Amino acid sequence: MARNLVSPDLIRTRFCAALSAMYRREVSLYAELLALVEDVNARAGQGTGDEPEYHGAIRVGTAQELAMLARAFAVMGMQPVGYYDLAPAGVPVHSTAFRPISEAALAVNPLRVFCSLLRLDLIADAGLREEAAAILARRQIFRPEAIDLIARAEAQGGLTDAETGPFVAALLETFRWHADATVDSATYRRLSAAHRLIADIVAFKGPHINHLTPRTHDIDAAQAAMVAQGIDAKDTIEGPPARKVPILLRQTSFRALTEAVRFTDQTGAETGSHTARFGEIEQRGAALTRKGRALYDALLAEALDGDRAVPYPARLSAAFARFPDDLATLIDQGLIHVRANGEPIVYQDFLPVSAAGIFQSNLAGETRGAYGETASQAAFETALGRKVLDPFDLYAAIEAESAREPANAD
């Protein structure tokens, strides 16, 4: 039996630090984004100078890749929470979020990774669909050392301190950028014509992390600062409008960078290009109850489907005027999850429309209609190798636990 096993929280913290350092080296504009967020938070009186990345995102191509990622994240105390179908927004993936689930673990390090699985069934061309499947079947995105250490952690209930460093280093390679594609330029163009995200997922040696996201306490100020600094920010902030009592999640980003890549038919100094990686900022508010989320979804649908002659931000603000914006009413109407002392419980998850909006903003102007085929959570969970957890149940459990705490406890 192994001795002196380290906490999964510590492994996650070390991985988060290594991932952030790698992404800052790979995407220099991301380092500028971190500095911008730190400055905004300091001006908002909320900065500590060491805010961790709150989430990243990765896209995989096969059930086997997804299942191994699930096992790797479990070593770091991260469980799959929620099911997200992005096909209705024209993105051919379905997803979950791997994250710590206890308040204690979230307090140590809140890293979560939004992980999407390509839906090959949404590639209309049968020949291209089979070719994409064959390309994916030939690759191995995990280092042998990572696979061995995942199995060891499962067998002995964790990793020792001496094993943690090699695990982090080996797993980091799965998230690293590879400029060498595994396909020729003609195949890349056909995959990209089917959908740019299909090319991003299929055409490279590994999935590469496509963004990291620090947390800000004033996303409107952060958006304005990006524009002021000449950063190519997306046009609108995803999620609910600005409010006195923030709810759920608001996100913005700088647009994906066009980077040089080499396809298998290119030689010498010849290169192609690929657009995938970007930097995102998020601001989190209160977790909504099922009742509150139903109201949110209804108002969001109203804004999305409203008069296109009216700018979207104006439609959004008009629709959400009917969502209460004072803490007492939100609590009285059972719209948000709160602790026994009336403190809102922070939303730790994602919004499918917002995620799709971020993805779509990085498709170089390409727009896609909704896919008609229905996704299946059961099929996703089969690929994953386990059930996803219901986020509403997790928030309700935190609220119930708070009610059981001594009255003088904060």
Cβ(10)–Cβ(76) below 8 Å: no
Of 153, 166, 6, 186, the residue nearest 75 (C-alpha): 153
Cβ(59)–Cβ(200) below 8 Å: yes
Contacts of 79 (CB under 8 A, 6+ apart): 73, 98, 99, 100, 101, 389
Share of residues in the chain with pLDDT > 70 (%)? 92
Could you give the 3-state DSSP secondary structure of residue 96? strand
Q: What pLDDT does residue 1 have?
A: 45
Q: pLDDT by residue (tens digit) across 298-345? A: 999 999 888 889 998 899 999 999 999 999 999 999 999 999 988 999
The answer on pLDDT for 211 being more than 60 is yes
* Nearest-angstrom CA–CA distance, 16 and 288: 27
pLDDT-based confidence at residue 357 (cuts at 50, 70, 90): low
Helix (H), strand (E) counts: the chain: 16, 9
Kindly state the tokens that stand for 279. Answer: 């930097």
Instruction: Break the chain into its structural domains and give their ranges.
Output: 8-234+274-281+362-389
Residue 247 pairs with which residues in a beta bridge? Answer: 286
* Nearest-angstrom CA–CA distance, 66 and 68: 6
Mean pLDDT, to the nearest integer, of 382-394? Answer: 96
Return the sign of the alpha-carbon dihedral for residues 277, 278, 281, 286. negative
* Nearest-angstrom CA–CA distance, 271 and 99: 37
Q: pLDDT by residue (tens digit) across 122-149? A: 999 999 999 999 999 999 999 999 999 9
> Which DSSP symbol is given to 5?
B
Is the domain spanning 8-234+274-281+362-389 CATH 2.40.110.10? The answer is no
Label the pairing between strands 53-60 and 112-118.
parallel
This prediction's pTM: 0.91
| CB atoms inside a 10 Å sphere around CB 46 | 13
The answer on pLDDT for 196 being more than 80 is yes
Mean pLDDT, to the nearest integer, of 56-69? Answer: 96
The answer on pLDDT for 203 being more than 80 is yes
Residue 98 pairs with which residues in a beta bridge? Answer: 80, 113
> How many residues comprise the chain?
410
* Nearest-angstrom CA–CA distance, 402 and 209: 36
Q: What pLDDT does residue 409 have?
A: 47
Of 354, 333, 337, 356, the residue nearest 345 (C-alpha): 337
Q: pLDDT by residue (tens digit) across 265-298? A: 988 888 899 988 888 889 999 999 999 999 999 9
* Nearest-angstrom CA–CA distance, 353 and 236: 13
Residue indicated by tokens 């990345």: 53
Q: What pLDDT does residue 410 have?
A: 46
Could you give the 3-state DSSP secondary structure of residue 130? helix
* Nearest-angstrom CA–CA distance, 163 and 220: 42
